[in-house]
Structure 1
Amino acid sequence: MKKLVLAIVTASAVVAAALIPSGPPVQAASKGFGSAVSAVRQSAWQTNSSVNALAIAGNTVYAGGLFTRIRPPGAAKGQRESVRTYVAAFNKTTGAPTTFAPKLNGAVYSIATSPDGKWVVIGGDFTTVNGVKRSKVALFNVATGQLAPSWAPVVAARVKALAIYGNSVFIGGAFTKIAGQVRNRLGAVTLSTGALLKWNPNADDDVYALQTSDNGTRVFVGGPFTTINDRDHYSLAMVNSTTGAALAMPAASAIPKPTWQCTTRVKTIDTLGNRVFIGNGGDGAGCYDGIIAADATTGKLLWQSKCLGANEALKAIDGWLYKGSHAHDCSQDGSFGDGTGTHFLLVHSVANGKLGPWFPNTDADPNSTTQVGPLAMAGDSTGLWTGGDFRNVNGKGQQGLARFSSTPGGAVPAVPKAPALTAGKAKVTLKFTDVYDVDNITLTYNVFRGNTKIGSYKYNSYHWDARKSYTVTDTGVKTGQTVGYRIEVTDDRNTVKSSTASVKVK
């Protein structure tokens, strides 16, 4: 038997491959997808306007925002709607709504659930819940869905961010008082009674994001502020969760100070283990929109992504950092450049910040007040929820909410074209074009002559790249034979096949 000549990559493919970030991408073995969840959208109900906040308690997902109605998947706006005024809850497994339906008189901008899963706190602009006075914050019992009758802190203005650890509820926003006491944009109350705590970091401008460290000793604060406790802490601070004192955070120096050309501010924060992830959004062309990963104890910078396109939401799950943004240029990170469209949903490796294998997408509602796409994320090892002002997910109608699952299956690679064949003397040269898979970067290409596999090759591909061509020469044929070839592409779970092309060997 004559030997098969191994695949020869064309010059154009070599150049394209060189643009892929260094280091092998992590890939699936049997799930069908390479990150913690698949890019395939799962069934979930929709909202009639923006979702600003999401949080999970047990098997319940809480959503808050500007919406006043929800509707089933597939239903058009205005059809089969149920009333939910600014807050709703959904079954995490099925995406269907629960009976939780408090009546609020104003929008919700933040939600947090207690670590024990027993309580959920919402924050926003509202002043009444079910006709009962509640000033910008309210507490509900997760098991019963009932408003906590005596928990009623009075917050003077919008609550934009919430975080809970132990018996402390940390509050951030636009206010200057809580319970009649001075608390400039940051304060805390007890989870058990709502009593005001001494915690008082004193920010000089609004707070957009709050997150506690996993051990509860730190509170990470983000927003357009410039000082904490009258000391310079531009847009990001790491604060002691008991005293309110700001701690040194070297990673914060990676966020550029405002200039006449650029103002950037922290908009979203999440933690995983001893790492904290901070996402920025900037104003102005080329203004910093990056992500910082830092040590949650020392504040030391671990890595930084400098993609352009403001970050609105981050969620770390099982070694992957999912982001909702309007990323349009990641050439600074060695990935896609401007002109490839807006990539509203992406994932980064927690370890090094490189873009990973997860490429669903949304749009942004041009008629919304925000017009940015995804605005909130929540998830765990079972899946990821995202909310925002979008109207479509993966090219199909799905307003306000989207759900992605870790259940094995995943997206199927695109179907390859039949190979182009050139017959030579006792040989056939095949040229085939790569495809992409929204759940994987590395795909395996198996080349078949009839039912005989004559070669297997692994190549990296991204949907925003120009398609690359590869060449294989088969010398295991005889003059006068008519032979057929096909390409099979697999992500190690899902396999697709090209049609067969035939040629007569010279």
Structure 2
Amino acid sequence: MATVFVRTRLRTLLVAMIGLVAMLGLVAPGLPSAHAVPTDSPVDTVSLRGEVVYDLAVLDSGRVIVGGRFSAVGAYPRSNLGAILANGNVDPDFAPTTNGDVHAIAVSTNGNRIFIGGAFTEVNGQPRHNLAAIDAVTGALIRGWRADTAGANPAVRSLAVSGGRLYVGGKFNGIDGFDKQKLAAIDARYGHVLHWATWLNGGVNEVRVAPDGTVWVGGEFTRIRGQSRPYVGGIDPVTGQPTGFVATGNDSRIITLGLSADGDWVYTGNNSNRVNAYRPSQSGAPVWTRRPDGNTQGFAVSGTHVYLCGHMKGFPDDGSVHRYFAALDRSTGATAAWDPRATGYFKGCWSLAIDGGDLYAVGGFTRFDGVTQRLFAKFGGTA
């Protein structure tokens, strides 16, 4: 009986200690911290006037660079490029211009330069074909930096920075005067094409770089360096050879892909409304698959969730309604309750980014639960 009494007292003491820890907001070392999906309502920030924002980049200062097809940020006229301050107001001093759509934005490692890609021939009134580098503060062109793309479909679709390299993806047949197709590595400082012997037999819609340097690409290709890699693959940053990962469970071109912060998970969205989650170090088969009723066009991955956006309205397999936005458990694919109740046009949402405890979104949406918030939104509560 004494032993039972002691054990009971110990259990009581343990429960009390756990309750005290919870009351004080303490977390024991080594235990995972709590995580919450974002708030349903976005933070009140400036809206944009125009059709769509395709991409964004968040700087260390909290400023957000946005690019797309629009004519104003707040009350300030802007031609397809703009900046939003950390407080949600327009940056009045950042006013570069392009004469065509901006599809992709990336930031240099030191944060001093913004790289833009799209379908334009002029930036700030100067010739720049589909790719340019501008000052992150003023928006002025970087003098001497030029790497024009060429071909029947020369537009740049995606950009990614890793160290001193800028990776450029699209359907172009040439860049900076070189016969370099679909995917190229550019010296981020000088704008010169780097020798990187890789080639693909179809366009690149998305390029992302993992922490180990692996260059992940998704698009319309089926082969990399002559090896079968249907629509998605990883590429060695030095040799240009594809990694051993060969994806299964994907039957059409990849529109977008996302990476977890540690590079262990790769998420893809294809033209058949299929979202696949892969762990390339373990298998080429998807860990899980979901099928929303519209295409996914952007991913952002937190420690516990993968956020996706596009022009879906929900998930027929579980009957949940999620217009343009959804959050899934990153390990199982289970649908979270988060639903900001977005409405809009131009295929809903195009891109997402997580910075600190905030989730940023851009696209063609216009309202959330009936409240106007056009083309740009910021949600708190992701950490």
TM bin, normalised by shorter chain, reads 0.7 to 0.9
Displacement of 1:117 in angstroms is 2.5
Verify the 8 A CA contact 2:76 2:92 in the aligned structure 1.
no
Partner of 2:288: 304
Q: Distance in 1 between matches of 2:366 and 2:138?
A: 32
| Alpha carbons of structure 1 residues 352 and 185: separation in structure 2 relative to 1, 3 Å | same
CA contact 1:49–1:399 (8 Å) conserved in 2: no
Q: Does 1:388 align with 2:371?
A: no
Q: Return the offset for 1:301.
A: 4.8
Q: 1:407 to 1:179 in 2, by over 3 A?
A: closer
Displacement after TM superposition at 1:351 (Å): 2.9
Amino acid paired to 2:58 = I
Q: Secondary structure at the match of 2:93?
A: coil
Shift of 1:109: 0.3
The number of equivalent residue pairs is 346
Q: Does 1:319 align with 2:304?
A: yes
User: Which residues of structure 2 form unaligned runs of 5+?
Assistant: 1-23, 26-33
- Confirm or deny that 1:353 pairs with 2:333: yes
| Deviation sequence 1:411-464 (CA, Å, 0-9, x none) | xxxxxxxxxxxxxxxxxxxxxxxxxxxxxxxxxxxxxxxxxxxxxxxxxxxxxx
SS state at 2:248 partner: helix
What is the distance in 2 between the residues matched to 1:276 and 1:85? 36
| Code of the aligned partner of 1:57 | L
Which residue in the other structure is 1:255 paired with? 250
RMSD over aligned CA atoms reads: 2.4
Does residue 1:64 correspond to 2:67, yes or no?
yes
Q: Which amino acid aligns with 1:393?
A: F
Query: Which position in structure 1 is the counterpart of 2:30?
Result: none
Tell me which residue corresponds to 1:499.
none
From 204, 212, 224, give the equivalent of 1:207: 204
Matched, 1:372 2:347: yes
Structure-1 separation of matches of 2:301 and 2:99: 33
Closer, same or farther in 2 for the Cα pair 1:396/1:291, shift >3 Å? farther
SS in 2 for 1:153: coil
Range 304-313 or range 351-360, more displaced: 351-360
Q: 1:82 offset after TM fit, Å? A: 1.9
Q: Higher relative contact order by CA 8 Å / sep ≥ 6: 1 or 2? A: 1
Shift of the 322–93 alpha-carbon distance from structure 1 to 2, 3 Å rule, reads farther
Q: Distance in 2 between matches of 1:264 and 1:218?
A: 20
2:95 counterpart residue number: 101
**1:321 Cα deviation (Å)?**
1.3
Q: What does residue 239 of structure 1 align with?
A: 235
Q: Aligned-pair distance for 1:274?
A: 2.7
Q: Per the alignment, do residues 302 and 232 of structure 1 end up closer, same or farther by CA in structure 2, a change over 3 Å counting?
A: closer
SS at match of 1:55: strand
What amino acid does structure 2 have at the position aligned with 1:130? N
Q: Is the CA contact 2:259–2:266 (under 8 Å) kept in the aligned structure 1?
A: yes
SS at match of 1:221: strand
Residue-by-residue CA offset, 1:352-383 (whole Å, 9 max, x unaligned): 22222422132231xxxxx3100011221231
Cα deviation digits, residues 160-202 of structure 1 (max 9, x gap) = 0000001110000120111221111111110111111112432
Tell me the amino acid that sits aligned with residue 249 of structure 1. F
Q: CA deviation at 1:264?
A: 4.3
2:47 paired residue number: 46
Aligned equivalent of 1:294: 279
Within a 5 Å distance, the mapping from 1:19-418 to structure 2 comes to 35-47=36-48, 48-58=50-60, 59-71=62-74, 81-156=75-150, 157-215=154-212, 217-250=213-246, 252-256=247-251, 263-282=252-271, 287-295=272-280, 300-301=284-285, 303-308=287-292, 309-332=294-317, 335-336=318-319, 340=321, 343-365=323-345, 371-406=346-381
Higher-Rg member (1/2): 1
- Asked whether the equivalents of residues 258 and 301 of structure 2 are also in contact (C-alpha less than 8 Å), the reply is no
Counterparts in 2 of 1:56 and 1:69: CA distance versus 1, 3 Å: same
Q: Distance in 1 between matches of 2:208 and 2:55?
A: 14
- Pairwise CA distance, 1:384: 1.1
CA contact (8 A) 2:358 2:378 kept: yes
CA deviation map 1:104-135 (0-9, x unaligned): 11110001112332322110111211122222
Write out per-residue CA displacement over residues 51-97 of structure 1, whole angstroms, 9 at most, x where no aligned residue: 111111111111111112222xxxxxxxxx32111111111342433
Contact 2:133 2:141 in 1 (8 A): yes
Superposition misfits of 4+ residues, deviation over 4 angstroms? 297-302
- Structure 1 stretch displaced more, 92-101 or 192-201: 92-101
Distance of 1:302 and 1:205 partners within structure 2: 23
Name the CA shift for 1:322/1:266 in 2 (closer, same or farther; >3 Å).
Answer: same
Q: Secondary structure at the match of 2:172?
A: coil
- Specify whether residues 113 and 403 from structure 1 end up closer, same or farther in structure 2 by C-alpha distance, changes over 3 A only: same
- Pair 1:264–1:103, CA change in 2 (3 A): closer
Q: Note closer, same or farther for the CA distance 1:208–1:378 as it changes in structure 2 (3 Å cut).
A: same
**TM-score, length of structure 2 as denominator length:** 0.83
